[in-house]
Amino acid sequence: MNNSHPAFELVTSAEIESLGVRVEEYRHVSTGAQHLHIAADNPENVFLVALRTVPQDSTGVAHILEHTALCGSDKYPVRDPFFMMIRRSLNTFMNAFTSSDWTAYPFASQNRKDFDNLLDVYLDAVFFARLDPLDFAQEGHRLEFTETDNPDSELVYKGVVYNEMKGAMSSVTSQLWQTLSKYLFPTTTYHHNSGGDPADIPKLTYDQLVMFYRTHYHPSNAIFMTFGDIPAAEHQAVFEEKALHKFEPLHKVISVGREDHYQAPLRVEEHYPLSGEEELKEKTHIVLGWLLGDVTDLEEALTAHLLAGVLLDNSASPLMKLLETTELGTSPSPLVGLDDSQRELVFVCGIEGSERERADELEQQVLTVLEEVAEKGVPYEQVAASLHQLELQQREIGGDGYPYGLQLILTALTGATHRGDAIGLLNIDATLEKLREQIKDPRFIADKARKLLVENQHRVRLILSPDDKLAERREADEKALLAEIKTQLSDGDKKQIIQTAHALAERQQREDDASILPKVGVEDIPPELPKVEGEEVDLGKQKLTRYSAGTNGLVYQQMVSALPEFSEEEKQLLPYYCQVLSEVGLGDKDYLEVQQWQTSVAGALHGFTSSRTAIDDLQQLSGHFILSGKALARNQEALTELMQATMEQVRFDELPRIKELLLQTLARREQGVVGNGHALAMAAASAGYNRAAFESHATGGLLGLRNLKALVRGLDAEQGLEKLAAQFQAIHQKILAAPRQFLLIGEEDKLPEFTQALAPLAVDSSLPPADPNAPFESQHIQQLWIANSQVNFCAKAYATVPMTHPDAAPLAVLGGFLRNGYLHRTIREQGGAYGGGATHDSNIGVFRFYSYRDPRMGETLADFDASLKWLTAEKHKDEQVEEAILGVVGALDKPGSPAGEAKKAFHSNLYGRSHAVRQEFRRQVTEVRLEDLKRVAATYLKPEKASTAVVTGALGREAGLKLDLQEEKL
């Protein structure tokens, strides 16, 4: 059946029953552009256009182009159509990505008018970008004098991508991957940093950017991808009319070649900057990486995934067992696993928290494990369990991070990029079936381990060691280079730099005519918040809430216990109790046997806690412990049995295992600071206002990280581990005695049977929930947290009101209003930060300003205050308020997966956020007026009442202390 537009021809199509979709591949007759359409009965339509981009250096040309292409086009010659459309839309997703070999522009919307608007803007932005030199200066890089008009002052580099990559490359994990790729791929595009290396970004010229655009941003090099209930032919009619008919074929094929594989393994050592640390001991990363083969060969790719799973799935897997238990390092490397995002599959294993002289021994230990697997194989049950995990990943309907349709599109994109079988990457059932037969041969995995790893000479061993002077040297080198550049500037050059700075500032201040862009309005907002209804039934003496949802053969279930009274020390330990609970032994099984049990029956099993304030009182705080599991429907009884054993037979006597788990957690938390710095800064700034805000900071925030470091240090003291295990046991006994209820999500016809199977978990309780009104002493916070970062994350926080207060809706809208109208321009465009804005969190009753990957500090904090003056002093239009309202409603209405929607409804109801309460809040949001924004700002956001927190690196410490911030060390 061919439903294509006359300008397109159908290449192939396939029904994929396991995903409930039909995939159709088309080719544009004239230009050869590819169109992959995933037809689904889903109103959240997704669009993505990808261009193969293969940079040959680390100047970040593809990344800077991604930013610059969104700064105005032929049809929409405004300065910032991308961010302007975010404000004029009900999108559920809108972004742009630069990967290592493609650049993609995706969006999603449930509103057809909105979808059509965004499609028009995106097509024009990608294929008819204006690429103004001033946008290149703003988004990429430029030279400026520290005193703009004074040519005798120092020169500095500025630019959004320049600062973004300074932030991104502050992450040790990013540096580890980039350095490993450099050696694994000596000749292809992956050798280079596609995002841009801060040392190389200033080498990119505007002319090079334009040339790259002309050769890469052409329909012949484009992949159009769509998902949802709009037919393919309707999309194709728009592609043809708005863009494709204007192009001739591009007689150039852009692709990534295969690497010539090494004849012998390569061993290399490099360094990474580690500042703000007193101790360099045991901070070295040692990783081994292999190139395994072509990502477009579906059978080979899935076999590699299966092998990686067998080796690394859980703590009982041979290689993961080694990496977790070896005394050569503190925990497995964050890179451990199989990467399938590039032309060739990459397998990585290794450790962190090590020393360079241990590398030979680690390499030998890894090779010994691999040789043993290649010699003896692994038990069939382990291989079958890993294949079970692959099936689960294939079947599960996502959509709680990215829209589900976008997840499917990104899965297929790797195949399409390299002109392979994109549909095959989605339709893996037949290959899974083949693997089920192949693994019956006990030599199958053994032979694959030998071929892909043991005998594969394209192996790189990388030692990445810390250097506490490297950041200073790089800073000094940059200053010396800028000083050298300055000595060579003519008077005309200096004048040009000053003129560019003025022209850019003028452009950034200019009010563009937004009316040329399409928009939706408040009138296009659906009147009702989507509703998901569950059914309450009795389970023994307890309550079970069950939801019927299209889960594609999976079941989700949770045991939910009201948190009892805990001491302050126990509260600090709760996150670690939750982590350890499902990672240690049960009854007569040790943790290795339990890990294998979990892998064979469950897709996931983990404990966590949640807490919320009352909807009308910020001082009332209640919380729950949740044991959450998911499995294929056929394994629901086995999952329930596993959950019961986890609660009734858990052992906290495996002391080395507990220490190992805490070391792994500490490593992940430390690595996460730079990627999540703005959220951590906001949590720190908010922590003085109420107990909910404090506990968030003291467990998941920077204070929690400091406490975890102290906890780990204490484990080496005499009886330290024994004491911790006893504390975990005491917490567990309280949770066992707490009142329970249950959540069950599955396909309708299975729910009664699933309900029956859950009965063994419904035991009587004797412990009342904690007092929700425990006292809290508020405090004013002015903190400077020192981390290993080259950039800053700034936050200011103000105490406000809970969700049901009439001012909560205007405060929610105010965040978007200030970001759209003032903060985006001053912090991102003028200040050069990667992002900045304001938001209201009604759960803790706090309004927060933030910046992300920010080169500035004091100026940004001043901009937060200046935005409030701008609100009162300037004249504003009603449409600015409408744009902010659309942003809030879009976030409220954003759909999740079927199971995710059910979980959200249940947990909202658990804390009094019923559908009626959320619907009323949403209604209030749609009725907010400008005078409401001014009133709530004047009432709550008085600068003298602000609490401030900044996350910075050693180089930012002095600036922070000058602002009278109190230094806090991690």
Tell me which residues are annotated as active site.
66, 139
Distances (CA, A) of 543 to 554, 610, 621, 696: 22, 19, 22, 29
Could you tell me which of 232, 191, 223 has the C-alpha nearest to residue 54? 191
Q: Residue 496 and residue 779: Cα distance in Å, rounded?
A: 50
- Taking the mean position of all CA atoms in its chain, how far away is CA 487? 43
- Helix (H) / strand (E) element for 656: namely helix 655-675
Query: Alpha helices, DSSP H only, in 396-520?
Result: 404-417, 422-426, 429-438, 444-449, 470-487, 491-509
* Tally of CB atoms within 10 A around 559: 25
Could you tell me which of 42, 41, 38 has the C-alpha nearest to residue 23? 38
Contact (Cβ atoms closer than 8 angstroms) between residue 816 and residue 888: yes
Distances (CA, A) of 877 to 684, 812, 866, 930: 34, 18, 19, 8
Contact (Cβ atoms closer than 8 angstroms) between residue 22 and residue 16: yes
Contact (Cβ atoms closer than 8 angstroms) between residue 100 and residue 194: yes
* Tally of CB atoms within 10 A around 709: 15
Which residue reads 């300003």 in tokens? Answer: 849
Q: Residue 701 and residue 710: Cα distance in Å, rounded?
A: 15
Q: Which amino acid is located at 229 in the chain?
A: D
Contact (Cβ atoms closer than 8 angstroms) between residue 316 and residue 596: yes
Distances (CA, A) of 416 to 9, 50, 51, 65, 868: 17, 10, 10, 21, 48
Buried b (16+ CB within 10 A) or exposed e, 498-514: bebbeebeebbeeebeb
Cross-strand pairs, 625: 561, 609
Contact (Cβ atoms closer than 8 angstroms) between residue 865 and residue 814: no
Contact (Cβ atoms closer than 8 angstroms) between residue 403 and residue 46: yes
Q: Residue 650 and residue 581: Cα distance in Å, rounded?
A: 7
- Taking the mean position of all CA atoms in its chain, how far away is CA 648? 35
Q: Which amino acid is located at 151 in the chain?
A: P
Contact (Cβ atoms closer than 8 angstroms) between residue 89 and residue 890: yes
Distances (CA, A) of 671 to 176, 702, 703: 12, 12, 15
Contact (Cβ atoms closer than 8 angstroms) between residue 94 and residue 107: yes
Query: Alpha helices, DSSP H only, in 128-201?
Result: 133-139, 160-168, 172-184
Q: Residue 839 and residue 819: Cα distance in Å, rounded?
A: 9
- What is residue 354's three-state secondary structure? strand
Could you tell me which of 686, 719, 725, 716 has the C-alpha nearest to residue 703? 686
- Helix (H) / strand (E) element for 31: namely none
For residue 805, with 0-12 CB atoms within 10 Å meaning exposed, 13-18 middle and 19 or more buried, which class applies?
middle
Which residue reads 């202390």 in tokens? Answer: 961
Q: Residue 288 and residue 266: Cα distance in Å, rounded?
A: 10
- Reading the block at residue 697, the tokens are 């900071």
Contacts of 554 (CB under 8 A, 6+ apart): 392, 395, 396, 397, 603, 630, 631, 632, 633, 746, 899
Could you tell me which of 604, 588, 610, 508 has the C-alpha nearest to residue 554? 604
